[in-house]
Structure 1
């Protein structure tokens, strides 16, 4: 529908655009996006008040939506507030006000249509007439804000506000520029200034209340809420939901529950209000009330997935009562696969494996290939020691699947073969997967030979205030688990080297070691280029936790001299487990595994470097062995606490568990030669020989 409306705009068929938007609103009651497009279409028709009403209705559903507020601000700029803009423009006497006025009006209309490229183009033309005009700065600021350039938006809108400090249109944009920079207090002050001149602006009042809440000022939020509820047309679903959230944070669960329950009576279910109700009931210990309210809701809305989940949440996990709710759910929604998945898991929790398997097969009938059900059926076959059937089941899935899904299924086939105690088959399957993906992966990074001697480790001077920490782990080490926990504890952790926009510095490039050896890259330049890339990574100084794509001791030629204050955290597991893990599941680092022999030799050399690094104290380093804690969130947090002597959060959502510690021993007959090559360095790193 959005594309049809845009096409109508392009043909100047504004009446058609309005009809399409109205149909969209009717087809999607309670949805914000159709209302937003209806407002745009009505504005194009010249119905400013009707457009504002549509936007206010959308903001009533979602009062904390910054994009909607910006659209409302743009509408005010081009609509009923334009008389004030015209008066402001008349102050610029040295210009032709009609010509500048024309450009500004067109630019505002382009903003209203979300045509930011045209708005920017008109702005450039107008800038020839009045490059510092506050209204022009405001337009450029709004364009920058929509483009995600918060710094430029803030600078432009702040400059405009200095010239017209009470203009509500400029203040609107300035407030959202502060918000984009997470300057919540400044955003709140700016929006309060707008409200002082527009006391009937309920959407903006909702936003200010939300800002108070985000800053921990529940009292200020409650005061704003009272002002909203007493205002005409203030009793909207969005306001009631916000009231529930504020009261919950203020420690008033009874009032929060009452507001949330009122929200649940609306025609369209509000998932956030439902969540607030659940939290309030939990704090009150009001399970009976929760059951009563939710059962009444389900009588009228038996097809609402989120309502059934909420009803399940009231019952103890894995209880007979929860199972009874799940049974009601599948009876109400017999074709809804998530309901059957819940029923299946509850059968397992209640030690009813046969029933769980039966439900799994029912799910497969509804949706062939559904992973949860297929895994449950295969698990049942393995439990009955029917390995042939389990393997055949997965192989049949692979044959039916499209090409994109097959690598994941083949990896799972290896896991099933592993569970069936067929290590040779598992190795063959996993190696086939790794070799198939190798062309899309990076070659293994080069490895430098150790020099006869290292440059002296420079002293740490008093003017070295930064303390960067580099984190590394070879494939199969589980370093991604440790990084996940560290990221929950520190805002300076950067994982961008593994993303779509990595930094272009020497730590990212594979030719760095060769450039250092040839003199093309000096030791000092390596560190300086790393520092130069930090601002673009959101780091104002060198205090960063930098997860490296690769590590080689050859980097020490630079780091010992020019970054002695840094530290290195190395995540380790038994090297033989690391090889097996890499073979089975690949690596967080996108390195190719072409052959087991090549991978083993490269892994062995990398581990020997790390052993030398530690044994010879070549650089400040901590070896963190996570064997046995790969699946233990609390254990990983404790290990990090031991390393850094500070607390770390327990992160439940870790990367999925893989093969258990010590599982390499099940593969000694198949991978014996590779393991024999890794055993000496494993012993050096503190692992048993056998």
Structure 2
């Protein structure tokens, strides 16, 4: 639906875009993207007031959406009377008079609104021929840079634009988000406060400022600023949830509980209020009050899935109370799959595997192909009849239409083939799948020869916050170390393997070779890494950075300029790592596996570097063998606490992910993977693993 609206906006089909956008909002009234597209369509028809109303509604749903704030700022231009033509007249006005500078600018603003950055840039270039260096052109270029992640350039352009047009309300929101993207939280707060002075009733601005205050370590002040709006009768669900979470963070749950309870009693369908209340009830230890309130709501709404799920949260997981709730749920909603799944989970927790398996077959009969049930059925068949498991998965693959689901089933097919005693078929299945997925993944990073010389190690000054770099090769299960840190509320930076990774040298592929060649200065690398930390969400104190890759070419820079750092590396038997990578894909990294042999060559070179780092003690590090502790919460936390001097609690077992290949699983694949394993065996022996 979104694509249809965007296409109509791009073609200038105002009525078509408006009709499609209204339909999308009617279908998904809580979707801020649909609301934003409706605003663009209204703006295209010349209904600026309507567009502003819709943007404000979208901001109530998603108050931290930078694009919505910039869209609102763009709409303010029309209130100044500079750009009051509707989109329907824009093409005509430009055609009749190419010097209609405001029309070009508004077209560019509309292109930004629908996410067409190339078109916005093109229109800005056209407008610049009429009015070079105009603040509005700088503003559009700055917004384009901001959307593309060019944060430094965006801040420079938008700062210059606001200096030239300090009273222009369309530029200030973009400048605020440029400050935010660069980690300048105080400047961002100041900018948004200046906007609030012009629009004191703006709920979205108050919410944005409250979040900035929270991120600067002042949750109580942030909660106080939101309280009047959240406690009002017309306070939005999203606003109440944000306020409740701020009060939780400030250690004052009792302040939010009465208002949210009243809002929930008035409207039990208010899902954000329910979610916030669940947090408050649990933190406050008010389980009995929660049960009573949710049961009252269920009496009037016995078919509310969110209410049943919330009710289960206040019963012991495998106790009679939870079973009683699920039985009530199933009575109210017979053959309801989430209720059946909840009952299967309770059977699992009680060790009643056969009963849980029976429910899985019941679910599969109700909804053929449902992944949760099918996976349990396959697991059940693997225990009893592996060949039947192979046939079941082959049938699921034949029926599948979703490419992602089909890929997951093919991974599972390989595992069932291996369990059925056919490792060669399993390797062939996995290898074919990994080869097909190469276009969706990154190439393996180059492994350099390492530094020719090393500078003296420069220790950090006393009191300098520490730095932990976490890394592990594909298949190492290093993600269990990351999960343990995150579960202990350690601020681990996870963005390197995300859709919006940082733009520092430790992210770029060519960095290691540039260091070896002398084209990249080590001190510049470290300074750029530090400069990017605020925009990644680091607010001070120790740094915990999960690296995408490691190369010993980094050692000279770290020895000379980052003496407070420690490298923590998770490993397993290299042959098990390769098998895991092949069978499960790149769980902890986005790298492509061209073939088992190519992966083994790359992994062998990486482990040679790691061996050299360890044997020569090139830099402070700790190597964590994860073979036997990857799913042992106490074992994981003990290793981390001992290495880092922390006192973290053990993580929940379910935070560590599913069990994968057991230690030594590689031995069942010595036939089809003999050549690849031969490349890895020398490194396996170096790290203390048996040769055979």
Residue matched to 1:107? 105
Shift of 1:360: 0.6
* Deviation readout 1:346-388 (Å, 9 max, x if unpaired): 12223433432221101111233333323333444455x5555
Cα gap change, 1:66 to 1:612, in 2 (>3 Å): closer
Residue matched to 2:426? 430
Distance 2:449 2:248 in 1: 61
Alignment RMSD: 5.0
Distance 1:71 1:689 in 2: 62
TM-score for both structures, normalised by structure 1: 0.75
List gaps (5 residues or longer) in structure 1.
Answer: 87-98, 513-520
Question: Which of the two has higher C-alpha Rg?
Answer: 1
Which deviates more, 662-671 or 624-633?
662-671
Cα gap change, 1:435 to 1:135, in 2 (>3 Å): closer
Residue matched to 2:91? none
Shift of 1:276: 0.8
Shift of 1:680: 7.5
Paired residue secondary structure (2:623): strand
Contact 1:35 1:57 in 2 (8 A): yes
Residue matched to 1:362? 362
Q: Which has the higher contact order (CA 8 A, sep 6+)?
A: 2
Residue 206 (structure 1) aligned with residue 191 (structure 2): no
Distance 1:207 1:247 in 2: 16
1:657 to 635, 656, 659: 659
Residue matched to 2:305? 305
Distance 2:120 2:671 in 1: 69
Cα gap change, 1:592 to 1:208, in 2 (>3 Å): closer
Residue matched to 1:188? 189
Residue matched to 1:505? 510
TM-score for both structures, normalised by structure 2: 0.75
Distance 1:156 1:526 in 2: 32
Alignment of 1:664-675 (within 5 A): none
Distance 2:679 2:242 in 1: 63
* Deviation readout 1:362-416 (Å, 9 max, x if unpaired): 1111233333323333444455x55554555445545655795666445435544
Cα gap change, 1:102 to 1:336, in 2 (>3 Å): farther
Cα gap change, 1:367 to 1:220, in 2 (>3 Å): same
Residue matched to 2:249? 249
Cα gap change, 1:343 to 1:120, in 2 (>3 Å): same
List gaps (5 residues or longer) in structure 2.
Answer: 86-96, 534-542
Distance 1:64 1:622 in 2: 39
Residue matched to 1:291? 291
Shift of 1:135: 4.3
Residue matched to 1:48? 48
Cα gap change, 1:334 to 1:179, in 2 (>3 Å): farther
Paired residue secondary structure (2:313): helix
Paired residue secondary structure (2:520): helix
Shift of 1:104: 2.9
Contact 1:76 1:82 in 2 (8 A): no
Which deviates more, 680-689 or 208-217?
680-689
* Deviation readout 1:108-166 (Å, 9 max, x if unpaired): 35414626555544433443454344444334434444444433332233223334444
Cα gap change, 1:270 to 1:185, in 2 (>3 Å): farther
* Deviation readout 1:6-60 (Å, 9 max, x if unpaired): 5665676645654554454444444434443443333344333333333333333
Distance 2:349 2:11 in 1: 60
Paired residue secondary structure (2:251): coil
Contact 1:434 1:594 in 2 (8 A): no
Contact 1:25 1:31 in 2 (8 A): yes
Alignment of 1:11-160 (within 5 A): 14=14, 17-78=17-78, 80-82=79-81, 102-108=100-106, 110-112=108-110, 114=113, 117=118, 119-128=120-129, 130-160=131-161
Contact 1:323 1:347 in 2 (8 A): no
Which deviates more, 564-573 or 52-61?
564-573
* Deviation readout 1:458-508 (Å, 9 max, x if unpaired): 43368999999876655644345446657885667784699999623164x
Cα gap change, 1:365 to 1:170, in 2 (>3 Å): same
Residue matched to 2:376? 376
Alignment of 1:456-467 (within 5 A): 457-460=454-457
Distance 1:356 1:156 in 2: 60
Alignment of 1:610-649 (within 5 A): 614-615=614-615, 622-645=622-645
Contact 1:104 1:136 in 2 (8 A): no
Question: How many residues end up aligned between the 2 structures?
Answer: 647
Cα gap change, 1:237 to 1:255, in 2 (>3 Å): same
Distance 2:366 2:477 in 1: 36
Paired residue secondary structure (1:660): coil
Distance 1:498 1:29 in 2: 26
